Amino acid sequence: MTKTPDPAPLALLYVRVSTGRQAKTGHSVDSQPIILRTAAEKAGYVVEVITETGSGRNAARPALAEAMSRLKSGKAQALYAVDIDRLARSTQHLLEIATASTKQGWRLVVTTTDVDTSTPAGVMFFTMCAAFAQYESGMISQRVKRQHEARRDRGVVWGKDEGRRSALPAATVARILSLRAEGRTLQAIADTLTGENVSTAAGGKWYPSTVAKTLNSPANRPTLAA
């Protein structure tokens, strides 16, 4: 009698889009499933995409809660995310997820940082990354707050420079600032923006020179230096 092969394990691909604009356009969502699907299928999983809308600071995320429930019950065997800040910005919540994966016997994989909680080293590295993600979030919040306060004191509207509007939306400039603060190279920033379908001021593709021009633009310096 031929034995029926065991079904392939299931990986849930957690995709989160964090702003209203991104949720409407799907810009930041488009590249995430491709990256996650490639990694999970290479590891031998069948996959299912779980999409969440909302800020990483908001703990009320029903899609993630559903995924965790399915993992706990054994209906899925792995959870994949592109980056730690796709899961949450709270170190405590991130560690709760990592602890659950260890105790319940499922695998947590973060592709951009090569975190895999199926190993002790992976758990340790995840803990370090979680702490850094929360620190980074706090630093970015402080910078944004200072920018708003300084520009308000000068009577300048956010996204403008002393009466002249920046060629790019303020959100795009802030995104470039955030990526640069993470230590990303100009090429890495260009690749990220292109992957998220974010257009340049001219509506084209991003290149390292385009990113550098944006960082050095007089219209953006108050935002970047505040």
Residue 160 in 3-state DSSP? strand
Is residue 157 classed exposed, middle or buried when 0-12, 13-18 and 19+ CB atoms within 10 A define those classes? Answer: exposed
Least Cα distance to 140 among 85, 178, 173 occurs for 178
Half-sphere exposure of 105 (CA within 13 A, CB side): 4
Give ∠ CA 55-61-65 in degrees, rounded to 5.
Answer: 150
Q: Which of 18, 101, 137, 166 is catalytic?
A: 18
In the annotation, is 166 catalytic?
A: no
Phi, psi of 193 (to 5 degrees): -65, -40
CA distance 157 to 72: 48
Q: What is the DSSP letter of 4?
A: P
Q: Are strands 107-110 and 78-81 parallel, antiparallel or unpaired?
A: parallel
Question: In one letter, which amino acid is 56?
Answer: G
What are the tokens at 187? 């090429």
Return the active site residues: 18
